[in-house]
Structure 1
Amino acid sequence: MTIRVLVVDDQSMVRAGFRLLLADEPDMEVVAEGSNGLEAVAQAARFHPNVILMDIRMPELDGLEAARRILAADASARILILTTFDLDDYVYQALRAGASGFVLKDDPPEQLIAAVRTVAGGDALLSPAITKRVIQHFTRLHREAPPKAVDTLTTREMDVFRLITRGLSNAEIGQELFISDTTVKTHVTRLLQKLDLRDRAQAIVLAYQTGLFDASETRPRERPDGSR
């Protein structure tokens, strides 16, 4: 299946560079471009891309509000934010808005291409560095109560959940828990379904908004009944 990509950035040279880069990939096609958030919303509605590669700082409508509008119209949209590590506040807001991942504009080409494929496949892309910043941010905020659905998670699903919040990939989670990648994927799918979450990004936000895990913990917190 061809991955249909919408590239949104206010700099024409940046858009041209991404178009040329992705054009060399046999499984990718840039179906449209946009120079601001308003164009992003319009092009997303018109072309229904699999992945929207979008800058945050843009005129007329920034990438954050564009992401909110796009996801409000189509909850299945996958948005990959172009960012820099010094824009922490934007990272947190983008996660809240429903972004599925982040890439740096100066990342190596192979990392960008891999990121597009990851997000197109329905997964989220959060590096350990970004995950750490998210943890530090949310642990300073007022905690919300965890949803009751957390109580339906099995012990193994909680173990997987905890490792997701540390930014580990499926392969790394498998190594940590001595289970196969396929088993990890099954656990991830089930816990996301039980918690009604789109992807790992939302799972991480939920975990640290509610204080479900502490950054220093190596095991999930016990529930009130003493179980995990």
Structure 2
Amino acid sequence: MLWGTCSVESECSPGWSVNVASGTCVKVFSQPRIQWEHAKKMCEDEGGYLVKIIDSQMNNYILGLIGDKFPLQDTFWLGFKYYFDMDTILWAHDETKVRYIANDHGGVLLGGRKTGCAQIKYVNHSSSSWIVEDCQHYARVICERGEGHCPVGWVPSKYSDTCLLFNDNRLHDWQRAREACQVIGADLLTIQSQAMQDFIMDQMSLASPARRMRYWIGLNALNPEGIYTWLDQPPENDFTSWANTSIDSLSSARCIW
């Protein structure tokens, strides 16, 4: 069974600032101004990725880092490209959906008929606007990365700042599996994207190559409404990857492996 995932406590390297809410480290680079693809590679060379802003709290955190160090209307690359004719926009780092957009000052992401790369424009210390510009334009760079280390026997997740532990002890009951996670400060796994799902499947093959194992995950329908939700994610994480069966046939299954 899948014992759980454990959030890694980050300790940031000099020059990087810890984002307590996400447990990641962030660095705003004053130089150079570069194109989006070069900015993406620069962050990857630093062991991270172009910044991924998931809510207003993190947006305000980024504004605080920019502070008075940069002029008003300065721009910084964000970690996704925008296509006006696509229903879904994905962060480049982990292929999760872009759900939050800061658009207080006339940014063109909402309803704009423009394709390009996303930037955050610094309006002042408490507000910003996300805009789309030609990916060949030049802007400053904000990188993000996780810097924690996983305990012995745990696997670092490629798509989230967590560590994974695959437990082959047979745990028939979902609640007992969760309690086993919580005893060691973890919880059952939350899967956020297809890319992360593929990564988990690869790790399952490595954990038990000789046999097909089933692992409990954090998706469940134990709430009064009977709606499937993840344990440690907000309701907008709607990623699922059901087996080749009708969801109606799962009406009696409240806990998922």
One fold, TM greater than 0.5?
no
Of structures 1 and 2, the one scoring higher in RCO (CA 8 A, sep 6+) is: 2
Normalized per residue, which structure has more strand?
2
TM-score normalised according to structure 1 size: 0.29
Normalized per residue, which structure has more helix?
1
